[in-house]
Structures are given as structure tokens and as C-alpha cells.
Amino acid sequence: MFDPKQLVQRFDDLTASAYQHPQMESLVELCYEASSVPNEGRYPHIRVALATNSQVRILGQVCFGQPVDVTKAPALLSKLSFACHPVHRVLVVDPDQQAGKLLITGISPSPSSLLPLDGHVVIEAPAPGWVRILRNQHAVECFRGEEHDVSGVACVAAWVQRDWVQAMRRRFLMLARLAPAVSMGSKEVVLVDPAAWNASRGKIVRLTKSTAQRALADALADLLGAVRAAHHGGSILVLPSRPADDLPLAHEGIELAPEDPGVACYSYFAWSTMHQIAHAHPEVIADVDRTSPNWHERLKSNIGARAERAWLRIQVESESTAALTQVDGAVVLDHELAPRRAMAMIARSSTSPGSGLAPTGARHAAMESAVNAVGGAVGFTVSQDGKVTAMMKGRGRTAIVL
């Protein structure tokens, strides 16, 4: 039996935020009910953010002239959700509107966890009977009334790709120390003040660690979300930076040569880091006129806009990579999430220790063989119903269900 009150309470306990919105439980229950209301034979993928239009006013936002009342109207919420891309758009419910009503005020691009919508609560219903509440990297979810906590791809990303996270941080910190300028991608840079940078270096170093992990997790989450949105299923294998073992392929598929490999993730990480530095340590940034009115707000807005553009590039690349998964075979990515091979047929091993998951299909079994053969690799399989499984080589068991 689905209990929205219990789910909201578990969410508050997990985030230690005690986020008390009077209509929170009603909105969770509405999303749960709307998830089972089809429209022209299709079930919705609902994403709703509790925020005001002004808080999420970014490029591509659509504001309604009159708020749409979806209170006790799951069919209407289901229909509206089809106006949103299930990964890159979110319906906005204004928490400050009329008491007792759930009013949708617009449709906004869905920022990553490092951009301005960070901190707001998002309620998602990706399939009938499946509801999750998210804030930053924390989430609780309920599938047909059975609750469990999930940590998302962030844990997998941080554990498997620690070398990439360290390399990204070293590149950022080295460029800032030597230039003194921080490279944000292929061309753009931000000048920094060396003395102020060194004075705050310890705090900035700690900040880069969490930002790098979240940047990689955001990119992975967006990619997996794009695959789920296609309702086709697919397999993705992420290789370590220096694979010591050969990938067991029955058929090599098509080799890919992406333009500017790894730039999207690094650019997003670097701009997101500078966005946080602009909030906490604005004295570090040198290329700003501090005599102008509201210089600090303008600085944050300027860098935030660049971070949004970097995030949009992540989304475009995610859609392109997700499209490759709709063809039979696995998509192989390098450690910077750049696609290197598509339509790869992985040779199944008869000696794989097994994950203990039941039942497993051919897609899961092949991916399990791959991660057991290549140390440090992580594999993702997405079922047609949207269920994501992450696999890595462990002690006898190789699967984690997300």
C-alpha cells in the first residue's frame, strides 16, 4: 500500500533537511496516481520541481500565463508531462501559490545537480507505480508501494572512476597555479588572483573533489536517463583510463572517433567549480570589475550562464550516445565518457561468477562477463521498463541495482 506520508518522512530523514511544504505529500500522491494514467496508449514520465519561476529562470524556460491547477487531477498531470522531455525538462510547481492547490506555472530545462536548481526538490515518476523524491544526490523511491533508498550513479562513478576524478582536479589546479588562468574547455579561460587563490587553496582543493565526483555522476545520470527515455533498453560499458585487460568481443562493431573527447565533462566540471568559487570565494577571480554595482551577483550570474551552456553540451552528447544504444550491441565509452565503439557484441564467459540477480537476460550476462574480464570497468544495462543495473568487478558478486 502506497503511503506518501511515510515516503516524505523517509526523504526528510535522509537529507536531514526537514523540507516542509504543506502540499508535498499531496504532490507525491498525485504523481504516483498520474504515473498509471496512459495517454494514447503511452504511460508518462513525470518530473516535477518545487520551485518558483524566478528561481529556475534559465534559457529555454516556458512560463504559463495562468497557472494550471492539477489538484486531484492525475489525468491532466499525465497529459502535461508529455510536453516535457523526460530527461531535459521539468514541470514547475510553485510552492508559494494558493494554499491547498497544486499549480503548475511553467516548464523549465532541467539543470544538473551543480547548477542553480540545486537544492530544490524534484519528484519523478518514470513508470507506473514508481515514484522517487530527489534533492541534490539524495533520493528515496517507492516501486509499487515497496520503499528503498537509492544513492544513484554517484557512488558507482566515484568508486570506479577515481583516477579520472583525480586527473580532472589536477588539471584544473595546475592550470590555475601556472597561468594564472583556469581553462574551461577547448578555449575559454577565467583569470584568477594568485595570492587570493593560494590563501583559499585548501578549501578550493576540497571543493574540487566533491564537484568532480558530482560532475561525473551528473553526466552518467543524464546519459542513463536518455537511454531510459527511449524505452528501448541498452548496454553501456565504461572503460578505466588504463585498461590492463583486453575487452572480450565476439564482434568489434563500429569504432568511433569523437571530436574533442572528454572536453564536455571537463568543461562542465571546471565551470561548475568556478560557479561555486564565485559564491564562496569571489576574491579569487581576477577578471571582474569590483567597482560596478552588484558586481558579485553579476559575477555569479555570468559564470552560472557559462556552466549552463556546458551542461547543455553534456545533454546533447548524452542524447547522441543514447541513440547508439538503440542498435543491438553495447556502446563502449572511455574513462571520460566519450563513445569509442558502438554495436559491440560482448563474448559471454561460461566462468563468470554470477551476480546473484534473478532473472538475468542475455544483455545482463554479457555485461557481467565484460566487467569481470576488464578490471576497473563498470557496465550499465537498461531494461525496456527503465530498470538500470550497474555492474563492476567485486568479490564474487558483480551487480548493483540502481
Residues 6+ apart with CB under 8 A from 218: 112, 113, 114, 268, 311, 314
Q: What is the pLDDT of residue 34?
A: 93
CATH class of 154-401: alpha beta
The DSSP secondary structure of 209-253, one letter per residue, reads HHHHHHHHHHHHHHHHHHHHHTTS-EEEEEPPSS--S---EEE--
Domain edges within the chain: 4-150, 154-401
Residue found by looking up cell 521498463 in the block: 385
Q: Which three cell numbers stand for residue 209?
A: 573533489
How far apart, in whole angstroms, are the C-alpha atoms of residue 115 and residue 110?
Answer: 10
**Structure-derived torsion over alpha carbons of residues 173, 179, 182, 183, reported in degrees to the nearest 10:** -110
DSSP summary character for residue 41:
T
pLDDT in tens, the chain (402 residues): 678 888 888 877 766 665 566 778 888 999 999 988 988 878 888 888 887 655 555 545 678 888 899 988 999 999 998 887 666 678 888 766 666 788 888 887 766 655 544 567 888 887 788 788 877 555 666 655 544 443 455 555 555 567 777 878 887 877 666 555 565 655 566 777 778 888 888 888 888 887 887 788 778 878 887 887 777 888 999 888 776 667 777 888 888 887 666 678 888 888 888 888 888 888 888 777 777 788 888 788 788 778 878 888 888 888 888 889 988 889 998 887 888 899 988 887 655 545 444 345 778 888 888 888 887 788 888 888 777 788 877 544 455 555
Q: What is the pLDDT of residue 116?
A: 46
pTM for the structure as a whole: 0.68
Q: What is the pLDDT of residue 52?
A: 64
Q: Which three cell numbers stand for residue 240?
A: 578505466
Comparing CA positions, the residue from 254, 273, 232, 258 lying closest to residue 337 is 258
Phi and psi angles of residue 184, each rounded to the nearest 5 degrees, phi first: -100, -5
